[in-house]
Amino acid sequence: MRTNINFMLFIILLTGLFCSCNPVINEPLSTSNLIFKTAKDSILFTGTAIKSYNGTSKEVIFSDSNIIKKIMSNRKIKCYLNNDSLFVFTYAVDYMSSFVNDLVLYENLYDAKFSFEDGYPNWIDNIGINTIRTQNKEKRALSWAKFISQLKLEGRYKE
């Protein structure tokens, strides 16, 4: 009888131990090693401002509308992983009259969505421009992989 009671207490204790553990799976961390700076190297925001990034649609969802205002007021933004410079991107919006043949954070005003694109406008189908954009994408491939890896590590990457 005493063995059964000890066994039951052990099971209850073990169950309580497992239930008290609340593993956080795919939940964004409250800190981030990603840092986004202005052209003058002042910190604009950190990776915690990115709620999620979808690798398939390229959509970026920000956690706070104030971040969007900060992005809009800075044309070029530098991305760092700790002290390692990863890449620079340009803020692009539908009413821009210029071309950008490198990474942009594109704001689609019609659906109020943001996405990382390899250039602006993204509908251009020109061999010369496409070649330049492809070359620029290849140059930042390693840095982009580090960026994606960090987003995954922080639980901010979605497919």
| Model pLDDT, residue 137 | 97
- The list of the chain residues with pLDDT below 70 reads 1-30
Q: What ranges do the domains of the chain cover?
A: 28-158
| Model pLDDT, residue 128 | 86
Kindly state the tokens that stand for 123.
């509908």
| Model pLDDT, residue 154 | 97
How many CA atoms are closer than 13 Å to the CA of 2, on its beta-carbon side?
A: 0
The reported pTM is 0.79
| Model pLDDT, residue 3 | 58
What is the tens place of the pLDDT at every residue in 89-117? 999 998 888 899 999 999 999 998 999 99
| Model pLDDT, residue 31 | 86
- ∠108-89-101 over CA atoms, to 5°? 80
| Model pLDDT, residue 26 | 47
Contact residues for 35 (Cβ-Cβ < 8 A; gap 6+)? 43, 46, 47, 79, 80, 81, 82
| Model pLDDT, residue 13 | 47
Query: Is the separation of the CB atoms in 90 and 121 below 8 Å?
Result: no
| Model pLDDT, residue 56 | 96
Query: Is the separation of the CB atoms in 29 and 157 below 8 Å?
Result: no
Token pair 């954070």 is found at 105
| Model pLDDT, residue 18 | 45
- ∠147-152-157 over CA atoms, to 5°? 90
